[in-house]
C-alpha cells in the first residue's frame, strides 16, 4: 500500500491541552506474552512540519512479536499500545531525544476515532494515506481538537498500513523499528526534540488480535 506525505497543519485556538498521562503507564505489565519473530511492513509517509516530501511504500524488515490474545479486545489493544509506547521511548533514548509522555486516554481515543473513520476509505481505495491527504476525510489533528487539544501544538503524524499482499503484519517492536528505519518517520517521531507527548491509536485487529490493520501516532509539543 502506498501513501503521499503532506505537511501537518497547525491551527490556533484557546483550548488547553489535556495533561498527558504520567510515564508511570510505561511501567504497567503488558498483558501479552511476546515471542520474537520476523516479518515485513509497509509504511505510509509521515506528516512532519513542512519537511521534504517523499513516498516510502517499501517493505521494511523489522522485529515482530506474536502475542497471546485474551478475551477482552479493548484490554488487548491497550496492552498493545502500551508496548508500542515503550518501544518508541527506547528509540527516543537511542536518538538522544527526551522521552515521551503518553496521552493514554483522551488523546489515544481521539486517534482511534480518526483511524476508525479513515480505514474504510483506505480499504476501499486499496491505498494508505493520511486523512489530510484524502478529500472528504478529516485530518488526525481535527480529532484531537474535538477533545479540547490545541492543534497548534501538534508536531506531526506517523502512520502504518497493512502489507496485505506480502502477508506481513506488525507488532509494536516491528512498527517502532520500521519507523526508525524510515528517514521521514525518524525525523517526525524520534528526531524532533521539541515534541514531548505522543498519542497513538490502532484500529481493526488482524491475525487473531495479534496485530492491527492500521496504527498511527501524533506528536505534541506539550502544555503551553
Tell me the C-alpha to C-alpha distance, in Å, between residue 162 and each of 4, 55, 56, 221: 16, 16, 14, 29
Q: Tell me, what's the pLDDT at 70?
A: 58
Q: How far apart are CA 49 and CA 8, in angstroms?
A: 6
Query: What is the pLDDT averaged over residues 179-206?
Result: 94
One DSSP character per residue, 142-191 reads HHHHHTT--GGGEEEEEEEE--TTTT----HHHHHHHHHHSHHHHHHHTS
64-103 pLDDT tens trace: 333 445 578 889 999 999 999 999 999 999 999 999 999 8
The arithmetic mean of pLDDT across residues 31-53, rounded, is 37
Domains of the chain: 29-220 (3.40.33.10)
Q: Are 204 and 212 in contact (CB under 8 A)?
A: yes
Residue 127 has a pLDDT of 86
Mean pLDDT of all residues in 136-159 = 93
pLDDT score of 207: 79
Indicate yes or no: pTM above 0.85: no
The predicted structure's pLDDT at residue 118: 95
Across residues 137-164, what is the average pLDDT? 89
pLDDT at 73: 86
Average of per-residue pLDDT values in the chain: 73
Residue-by-residue DSSP string for 123-140 = HHHT----GGGSTT---H
pLDDT per residue as tens digits for the range 120-129: 999 899 888 9
pLDDT tens sequence across 6-22: 334 433 333 333 333 33
Query: What band does 41 get if pLDDT is binned at 50, 70 and 90?
Result: very low
Counting every residue written for the chain, the total comes to 224
pLDDT of residue 210: 78
Percent of the chain with pLDDT over 90: 44
Amino acid at each position: 500500500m502506498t501513501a503521499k506525505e503532506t505537511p501537518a497543519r497547525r491551527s490556533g485556538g484557546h483550548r488547553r491541552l489535556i495533561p498527558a498521562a504520567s510515564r508511570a503507564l510505561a511501567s504497567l505489565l503488558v498483558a501479552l506474552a511476546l515471542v520474537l519473530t520476523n516479518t515485513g511492513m509497509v509504511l505510509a509517509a509521515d506528516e512532519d512540519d513542512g519537511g521534504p516530501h517523499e513516498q516510502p511504500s517499501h517493505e521494511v524488515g523489522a522485529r515482530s512479536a506474536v502475542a497471546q490474545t485474551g478475551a477482552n479486545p479493548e484490554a488487548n489493544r491497550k496492552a498493545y499500545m502500551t508496548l508500542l509506547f515503550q518501544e518508541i521511548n527506547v528509540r527516543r533514548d537511542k536518538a538522544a531525544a527526551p522521552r515521551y509522555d503518553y496521552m493514554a486516554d483522551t488523546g489515544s481515543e481521539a486517534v482511534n476515532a480518526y483511524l476508525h473513520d479513515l480505514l474504510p476509505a483506505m480499504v476501499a481505495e486499496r491505498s494508505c494515506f493520511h486523512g489530510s491527504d484524502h478529500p472528504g476525510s478529516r485530518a488526525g489533528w481535527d480529532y484531537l481538537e474535538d477533545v479540547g487539544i490545541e492543534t497548534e501544538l501538534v508536531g506531526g503524524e506517523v502512520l502504518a498500513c497493512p502489507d496485505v499482499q506480502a502477508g506481513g503484519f506488525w507488532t509494536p517492536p516491528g512498527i517502532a523499528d520500521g519507523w526508525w528505519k524510515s528517514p521521514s518517520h525518524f525525523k517526525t517521531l524520534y528526531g524532533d526534540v521539541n515534541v514531548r507527548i505522543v498519542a497513538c491509536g490502532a484500529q481493526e485487529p488482524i491475525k487473531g488480535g495479534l496485530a492491527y490493520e492500521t496504527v498511527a501516532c501524533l506528536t505534541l509539543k506539550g502544555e503551553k
